[in-house]
Amino acid sequence: MQLPRFLIQAFLVLFFLPGLQARQEPVDLEMVQKIRHEGLQNSSIRDISFNLTDVIGPRLSGSSGLARAYQWTSEQMAEWGLSNVEVVPWGEFGPGWDNEKFYIAMTAPYYQHLVGVPRAWTRGTGGPVSGAPVLVDIRTDEDFEKYRGQLGGRIVVTPVTSEPSVSFNPMAHRYSDEDLERLSQLPEVRSPDYGNVVSGPSDWAARRAFNRKLEEFYQEEGVAVVLRPSGTFGTVRSGGSRLVGEQQPGVAQIDLTFEHYGRIVRLLEAGIGVEIELEVQNRFLDQDTKGYNVLAEIPGTDRRLRDEVVMIGGHLDSWHAGTGANDNAAGVAGMMEVMRILKEIGVEPRRTIRIGLWGAEEQGLFGSREYVREHFYDRETGKKPAYDKLSAYFNVDNGSGKIRGIWLMGNDEARPIFEDLLSPFHDMGASTVTLRSTGSTDHVAFNAAGLPGFNMMQDRIDYGRGYHTNMDTFERMELGDMMQAAVIVASIVYHVAMRDERIPRKVFTP
């Protein structure tokens, strides 16, 4: 028996509809080819990276180096012909800080140059300091009296309470196919085991309060300098706390690599005399205490959509032990290259494409959070007029490794869109779309306001080993991987700017 034609048509629609619905995102393959050619054959990645690291140097928040970065990035993007290039204050940061001279060595029982770096926003030593370090073990309030009146002008070290662990993992790592398959799946949800909670916010607050009390004690006693362990395998990890309000800088502090610090402590514990000589010169910058972001655009051309925005970005600031190469000159260079590629090939996006190079990410995402608060959403006053004008924000801040996919931050409706937009780049290793979330960088500021903020999934290479350290330098940057990343982000951003609709949003509960 022959079925009626309308039944056959209905069957075909029902059979093919799921596949049609799953593959509706248009991809302009001609534009993809133009982006590939410009990004791979005429790349500026090396030049941008060289300037951000070797030429400008460390870009600590509030430092002279970050001021140079503001100037160079804005001038470079203006030279490329981008529109509305601005260095815009996001708010009050506090005094800046530059290290101008640093030297430290152990001179007895033998000479050993020590690998270290002064902690940011601490004082200098006011000239050369030399002498025998004193081992100070203050763990409770009762311990303070043991050392009162004994530490004036001394070099302080404290007992080693943890040792670097041996790692049998490779120094560098790319995601395997098995890794990517695992990451594409949501992790198993487990009930919290409250019986195994080791510490909580109250413990953290108590430790922080005790550390403040200890620093105040060192100041009252007139300690010359405090040495601290930080980093291993010849690397030293830099850090420090900005000065807020009327807060004054503490005594000079130096972070040393674990191997050198541990040697000093072991010699002292064995009763063997140790002598150290050092000098630290730091300068506080208080003429301009504001923090800044750098912005630039390719204006939209569609009369209906040009007021809407697709944003890309990464943080411009770094720590000061190295030159902030993988954290995050790599992300900045990649996103600047995205804008250069799109401008060079003459795209005319329907929506405006805007780049934000954020300040003070390392101190708490200040630049991006304040930008979101000013333009999109304020927790106290609610949504701003531009809230519904942002389609999406894309971030790069996990080193210089290849892009392997995208973290959707739980945005399930966006999955088929990015599966299609990544489809031309499977041959470049980018295909993973996961609902999982990742944090600790500037896309979090957008997500916290209910906006679609995404971080690109990257091969970590040796990022975890080197970020924030004296080894985060140009040599650690994978320039070929960065070219791949810029091409993929440029294509995604272009297609998102050309869509009829904005990227879907998750349910937002303020």
CA-to-CA distance for 419 and 441, rounded, in angstroms? Answer: 23
CA-to-CA distance for 503 and 394, rounded, in angstroms? Answer: 12
| Burial of 301 from C-beta contacts in 10 A (0-12 / 13-18 / 19+) | middle
pLDDT of 89 above 60: yes
CA triple 206-210-214, angle to 5 deg = 170
pLDDT of 294 above 60: yes
pLDDT of residue 201: 59
Contact 277, 129 (CB under 8 A): yes
CA-to-CA distance for 314 and 329, rounded, in angstroms? Answer: 9
The arithmetic mean of pLDDT across residues 11-23, rounded, is 43
Alpha-carbon distance values, 51 to 75, 98, 464 (Å): 12, 19, 23
Q: pLDDT tens-digit profile of 255-289?
A: 999 999 999 999 999 999 999 999 999 999 999 99
Pull the structure tokens for residue 216: 């105040």
pLDDT of residue 187: 83
pLDDT of 167 above 90: no
Residue of higher predicted confidence among 308 and 3: 308
The arithmetic mean of pLDDT across residues 59-84, rounded, is 98
2 pLDDT band, cuts 50/70/90, is low
The arithmetic mean of pLDDT across residues 391-396, rounded, is 98
pLDDT of residue 9: 46
Pull the structure tokens for residue 192: 């919290």
Contact 96, 63 (CB under 8 A): yes
Q: What is the mean pLDDT of the chain?
A: 93
The arithmetic mean of pLDDT across residues 397-402, rounded, is 96
Q: State phi, psi for 129 to the nearest 5 degrees.
A: -130, 135
pLDDT of 3 above 80: no
pLDDT of 361 above 70: yes
429: Cβ–Cβ under 8 A, 6 or more apart, which residues? 402, 403, 404, 484
Q: pLDDT tens-digit profile of 117-154?
A: 999 999 999 999 999 999 999 999 999 999 999 999 99
> Looking at residue 187, what DSSP letter applies?
P
pLDDT of residue 12: 38
CA-to-CA distance for 400 and 466, rounded, in angstroms? Answer: 12
| H/E run at residue 482 | helix 479-498
Q: pLDDT tens-digit profile of 462-491?
A: 998 899 999 999 999 999 999 999 999 999
122: Cβ–Cβ under 8 A, 6 or more apart, which residues? 240, 249, 250, 251, 252, 253, 282
pLDDT of 20 above 50: no
pLDDT cut 70: percent of the chain above it: 93
198 pLDDT band, cuts 50/70/90, is very low
- pTM, 2 dp: 0.92
CA-to-CA distance for 453 and 396, rounded, in angstroms? Answer: 11
pLDDT of residue 23: 53
pLDDT of residue 10: 44
pLDDT of residue 107: 98
Q: How far apart are the first and last CA of the chain?
A: 60
pLDDT of residue 204: 83
Q: pLDDT tens-digit profile of 428-463?
A: 999 999 999 999 999 999 999 999 999 999 999 999
